[in-house]
Chain A
Amino acid sequence: MPAKKIPEEAVESAYQRLTVEAESGGYHLNPDVAFTKELIRGLLENEARYGYGACPCRLASGIKDDDLDIICPCDYRDPDLAEHGSCYCALYVSGAISGGGQEAEAIPERRPPASERKKIKAKGPQGHFEGGATSLPYPVWRCRVCGYLCAREEPPEQCPICKAKKERFERFM
């Protein structure tokens, strides 16, 4: 699918917004500003052509439901930050890298290959909640991106910690 041209101002304003959002949730953007802005440009291009902000370093299918796990911030960001100090595309980095002590490096892909994903999908949702009766006054929802939990009738429109959208929440209890 051809890429859409993203104006410079759009990249700049997304960069500013993402910086504020990341820091407010305890996350950090890559301090290599030129590299980071190119990733954000890619992210905005993906948003324009697919209708959702798929990871710029992964091939999106164009089917949102199949790509929920790679909408930025992706489901793999936090485990990758913990294990490697950066996410797969290196838009987000650990405090150590953000502080300039280390540099982000290319890391292995954590997302299962397409054949595996198909099997996982066929098995149905792998949430922690098996359904059935619960003694809790409210259901508990978990953000698949950052693990934020909340007890309320429905998940929030946006995760207050990592800004992932409502559709990224799963029933936890």
Chain B
Amino acid sequence: MSVKEHMKHVEGAKKSDIKLYALSTCGWCKKTKGLLNKLQADYHYVDVDLLGDADQEEAVAEITKWNPQCSFPTLVIDNKSCIVGFKEQEIRGVIADAG
């Protein structure tokens, strides 16, 4: 397996390439998922704490490329930019710009 295979797809009307790295236990990650759902965003997410050791290591390496602190939630948009933390206005902005 790899991290990609563990990514869960949430279908939504607002098409864009959003990858959300989250923790299953984290309050801000839950708020981020809730906001994306409310905005009907189409996105993929993975709860990094639930991964096995090898996949977790791979996920941490991926996240660290975008966010050296490797904190959660980390949202990667179009493989170009990232939003670290539950920044509601920034997330709303990204979804508003999406199809």
A interface list, Cβ under 8 A from B:
1-3, 35, 38-39, 41-43, 45-46, 56-60, 89-91, 106-109, 111, 113-114
Contact = CB atoms under 8 A, between A and B. Distances in A.
Interface string B68-99: 11111000000000000111000000000000
A111 B72 CA distance: 12
Contacts, number: 65
Given A56-B25, A57-B25, A59-B70, 4 more contacts: A45-B25, A59-B60, A89-B28, A90-B27
Contacts of A2: 50
Interface of B: 23-30, 48-50, 52, 56, 60, 64, 68-72, 85-87
A109 B72 CA distance: 9
Contact of B27 (A1, A89, A109, A111): A89
Instruction: Give the secondary structure class of A's interface.
Output: loop
Instruction: Give the secondary structure class of B's interface.
Output: loop
A57 B30 contact: no
Contact of A3 (B24, B60, B71): B24
Contacts of B26: 42, 56-57, 89
Given A59-B60, A106-B86, A42 B27 contact: yes
Given A38-B30, A59-B49, A109 B23 contact: no
B65 to A, nearest CB: 13
